[in-house]
């Protein structure tokens, strides 16, 4: 028997949302890790207590920001340029059904 699956799904991202954070914030389009993270609460989940979600909390005041649905994060500087660049691209790392439910097939010999 062989089981095939992927490690994660992806989603077509069509809605840009502004994000801000400290200089040390990660560069992902669908998730951010850092300090002082801010974004629209309708488009992202802000995790201020990583241990409650069993996420690494190795740095003081570490936060996670995870995009919902088909949103992707863009910094305010050059917002429209980056929005145009990433609009309509398939991304992963957020919270959407397409990313969390994985395709899986089981193959058995005849």
User: Which neighbouring-strand residues pair with 64?
Assistant: 33, 47
pLDDT of residue 73: 96
Backbone φ, ψ for residue 81 (5° rounding): -65, -50
H-helix segments, 31-101: 79-86, 97-100
Cβ(62)–Cβ(35) below 8 Å: yes
Kindly list the domain boundaries of the chain, sorted by start residue.
Answer: 13-95
User: H-helix or E-strand containing 3?
Assistant: strand 2-5
Write down the pLDDT at residue 19: 97
Consecutive 10-residue averages of pLDDT for the chain (110 residues): 85 96 92 95 96 90 95 93 94 89 88
Length of the chain: 110
Q: What is the pTM of this model?
A: 0.83
Burial (CB count <10 Å: 0-12, 13-18, 19+), residue 96: buried
């Amino acid at each position: 028997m062989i089981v095939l699956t992927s490690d994660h799904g992806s989603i077509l991202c069509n809605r840009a949302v502004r994000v801000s954070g400290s200089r040390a914030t990660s560069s992902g389009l669908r998730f951010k890790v850092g300090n002082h993270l801010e974004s629209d609460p309708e488009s992202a989940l802000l995790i201020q207590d990583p241990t409650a979600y069993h996420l690494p909390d190795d740095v003081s005041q570490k936060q996670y920001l995870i995009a919902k649905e088909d949103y992707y994060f863009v910094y305010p500087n050059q917002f429209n340029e980056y929005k145009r660049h990433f609009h309509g691209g398939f991304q992963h790392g957020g919270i959407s059904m397409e990313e969390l439910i994985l395709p899986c097939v089981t193959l058995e010999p005849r």
